[in-house]
Amino acid sequence: MSDFITPPKHVNFRAKKLFGEMGRIVDGSIAYIDLNGGGPTELHTHEHDHLFIVTEGEARIQLGEENVIIHKDESYLVKGTIPHSCWNNSKDGVTKMIGINVIN
Mean pLDDT along residues 80-88: 97
88 with 94: CB under 8 angstroms?
A: yes
Q: Judge whether 19 lies within some domain.
A: yes
| Per-residue confidence (pLDDT) for residue 60, from 0 to 100 | 98
| Per-residue confidence (pLDDT) for residue 104, from 0 to 100 | 76
* For the chain, percent of residues with pLDDT exceeding 90: 85
Q: Is 38 exposed, middle or buried (0-12, 13-18, 19+ CB in 10 A)?
A: buried
Q: Containing H/E element for 68? A: strand 66-71
Going by pLDDT thresholds of 50, 70 and 90, the confidence category of residue 19 is low
Domain region containing 64: 13-102
Q: CA-based Rg of the chain, rounded to a whole angstrom?
A: 13
- Would the pLDDT of 29 be above 60? yes
Q: Judge whether 7 lies within some domain.
A: no
Number of domains in the chain: 1
Say which amino acid occupies 37. Answer: G
Tens of pLDDT, residues 63-78: 999 999 999 999 999 9
Inter-CA distances, 53 with 25, 91, Å: 15, 19
